[in-house]
Amino acid sequence: MLTNTKERKEKCVIIGSGPAGYTAAIYTSRADLEPLVIEGVQPGGQLTTTTDIDNFPGYPKGVNGNIMMDDLKEQSLRFGARCLPDLVTNVDFSVYPLLVNLSDGTEIKADSVILATGASARYLGLESEEKFKGSGVSACATCDGFFYKNTQVAVVGGGDTAAEESIYLSKLASKVFMIVREDYLMASRPMIKRLNKIENIEIFYEHTVKEVVGDLAVESILVNDNKNNKEIKLDVDGIFVAIGHKPNSDLFKSYIDLNEEGYVKTQPETSITNIPGVFACGDLKDPRYKQAITAAASGCKAAMDAEKFLSENNC
């Protein structure tokens, strides 16, 4: 039972409750570390914003994102993990035990901390885009491309991610419109070469999306031709926004080494950060894969690294 004291001592605090955080909780609770999961403003993480997950092993018929995350949580509770619906507002990793502050004023002294705060996809910021998230607007072709077989789709962005998403979708969709703000692609040369060879990808340079249009789901997009200052309509069933992700690492940046995009740096093949006792997992440290299964796998690594650290330091 959790008490309301303003100070508490914990062996293992997990910040974040997506697939990475809950998997870390399953492993650390089975290792008797009695982890405390701080769930944040999005208990269950990004998957709670989507409907069908078809690519997480163990669900042959697919699973609703909320149900899957409830399952993961329940599994962690079974072994003694505790979950707190609160937000971490500050950390101090310059001292040991490590300090974690919550929005309700509680200060936690922690022997180990697992960072699992994820990364947020950047969107265009259009009202109509918000309306169709989950019913035509997506930020992940690997996750949702399957639903757009033999349809027309648009990809927004001109970097490597947008190029990769377009190439992936070109194998499923009948036509891919790439909407690029600049008059050039920022993607790497090999990627541009690959793109140019694919017949069903059409690139609209110097165009920006103005509106996503539809009734119950996306039916078209209105795009501005910035060079000629005119508007065109493209009939699409899906629009994939590929303008980057922002790792949720701001809280930790005074202490934890980050790469130039803000992802947490860890020692190769591990979750070990530059601060002893602090481990990172999931999308927060993964500029590349960003899948539920890869996040879960790295949550497992973080738990095992934390367990080893605690036993080596007699905590």
Ligand X SMILES: Cc1cc2nc3c(=O)[nH]c(=O)nc-3n(C[C@H](O)[C@H](O)[C@H](O)COP(=O)(O)OP(=O)(O)OC[C@H]3O[C@@H](n4cnc5c(N)ncnc54)[C@H](O)[C@@H]3O)c2cc1C
Q: Which residues are catalytic?
A: 140, 143-144
Reading the block at residue 23, the tokens are 């998997």
- Pick one of 16, 35, 136, 145: the residue that binds ligand X (CB under 6 A): 16
Q: How many residues touch ligand X (CB under 6 A)?
A: 40
- The verdict on 172 binding ligand X (CB under 6 A) reads no
Q: Which of residues 93-152 bind ligand X (CB under 6 A)?
A: 116-118, 121, 139-140, 143
In whole angstroms, give the CA distance from residue 168 to residue 150. 13
Are 69 and 25 spatial neighbours (Cβ–Cβ below 8 Å)?
no
Kindly indicate which of the ranges 14-22, 27-35, 182-190, 300-308 contains the residues binding ligand X, using the contact rule CB under 6 A: 14-22
- The verdict on 247 binding ligand X (CB under 6 A) reads no
In the chain, count of helices (H) and strands (E)?
A: 7, 19
Are 145 and 43 spatial neighbours (Cβ–Cβ below 8 Å)?
no
- Rounded (5°) CA angle 191-228-162: 20
Q: Please name the helix (run of DSSP H) or strand (run of DSSP E) that holds residue 232, with its range, or none.
A: strand 230-235
Q: How far apart are CB 22 and ligand X at their closest, in Å? A: 8
- Pick one of 20, 153, 241, 258: the residue that binds ligand X (CB under 6 A): 20
- Closest C-alpha among 306, 172, 309, 182 to residue 237: 172
- Site mask for ligand X (CB under 6 A), range 53-82, x = bound: x-xx--------------------------
Are 281 and 119 spatial neighbours (Cβ–Cβ below 8 Å)?
no
- The verdict on 39 binding ligand X (CB under 6 A) reads yes
Task: Identify the sign of the CA torsion 279, 284, 289, 291.
Answer: positive
Are 210 and 231 spatial neighbours (Cβ–Cβ below 8 Å)?
yes
Kindly indicate which of the ranges 37-45, 181-189, 228-236, 257-265 contains the residues binding ligand X, using the contact rule CB under 6 A: 37-45
Using only the alpha carbons of the chain, give its radius of gyration.
21
Q: How far apart are CB 184 and ligand X at their closest, in Å? A: 28
Angle between helices 160-170 and 189-196 (to 10 degrees): 30
Kindly indicate which of the ranges 4-12, 49-57, 90-98, 212-220 contains the residues binding ligand X, using the contact rule CB under 6 A: 49-57
Quick one: 11 or 290, whose CB is closer to ligand X? 290
Reading the block at residue 154, the tokens are 């648009």
Quick one: 116 or 239, whose CB is closer to ligand X? 116
- Pick one of 11, 73, 175, 290: the residue that binds ligand X (CB under 6 A): 290
Interface ranges with ligand X (CB under 6 A): 15-21, 38-43, 45-47, 49-50, 53, 55-56, 87-88, 116-118, 121, 139-140, 143, 248, 251, 282-284, 290-293, 295
